[in-house]
Copies of this chain bind each other. A is one copy, B any other.
Amino acid sequence: MKKSIGPETLLYPTPVLVVGSYDAAGRANAMTAAWGGVACSKPPCVCISLRAATASHGNIMARRAFTISLPSREQAAAADYFGIVSGRKVDKFAATGLTATPAELVDAPYVAEFPLAIECELLEVHELGLHTQFIGLVKDVKVDESCLDEKGRPDVRKLDPIAFAIPSSYFALGDLLGPAYSIGKVFSEAADG
């Protein structure tokens, strides 16, 4: 039996997206967002939603670029810190001891120590209410060589990404449940049988 709990943003899991940007003076900032994901395959686009009150929002509107750095399990506390304090008040890279590396193809920095970085050019801006949704055109993805498999593809177990669960929990990925486009075939076979 289901219970109605009203109109809320309840969706599990969400990613932990550390959004990198430069301010007007060229200072690197990073903030953590859980509202976002993949938006389109061709052209490759991602989306992030930020409140207009954040420093990152102004930075992205001005520079028309951002990055997304994905933390691994050991970096959960740093990612959380990036989401707690404002870049207007604190140099978050200095506080965490992490390194802001300029992206190669867009005007934004990424977190060097995080295993995967997505370089994005700002493509569209959607004002939805409290949050503005930025659509980023992916210009490049950079991955730690230690997180690639023997074919040079990212290995999710080596990346060891973290997930966010509303309202306030970080999780590692756990049991592998099976391959996509495959485990569902059991129902096709049943229908054919």
Q: What residues of chain A have their CB less than 8 Å away from a CB belonging to chain B?
A: 1-15, 17, 34-47, 49, 68, 70, 73, 76-85, 90, 95-96, 104, 112, 116-118, 123-124, 126, 128-131, 133, 135, 137-145, 148, 152-154, 156, 159, 161-188, 190-191
Contact status B13-A161, CB under 8 Å: yes
Q: Which residues of B contact A8 (CB under 8 A)?
A: 44, 138, 141
Interchain Cβ contacts under 8 Å between A and B, 15 examples: A1-B144, A2-B112, A3-B144, A8-B141, A9-B46, A9-B138, A11-B70, A12-B15, A14-B15, A34-B38, A36-B38, A41-B129, A82-B184, A167-B180, A168-B180
Contact status A5-B177, CB under 8 Å: no
How many Å lie between the Cα of A180 and that of B36 in the bound state?
Answer: 17
Contact status A169-B180, CB under 8 Å: yes
Contact status A184-B78, CB under 8 Å: yes
Contact status B5-A142, CB under 8 Å: yes
CB distance from A131 to the nearest CB of B (A): 4
Contact among B14, B43, B187 for A77, CB-based, below 8 A? B187
Contact status A169-B156, CB under 8 Å: yes
Closest to A160 in B: B12
Most buried by B among A4, A13, A76, A131: A13
Contact among B68, B77, B140, B166 for A178, CB-based, below 8 A? B77
How many Å lie between the Cα of A79 and that of B129 in the bound state?
Answer: 31
Closest to A3 in B: B145
Contact status A10-B118, CB under 8 Å: yes
How many Å lie between the Cα of A72 and that of B156 in the bound state?
Answer: 21
Q: Which residues of B contact A76 (CB under 8 A)?
A: 177-178, 183
Q: Which residues of B contact A139 (CB under 8 A)?
A: 7
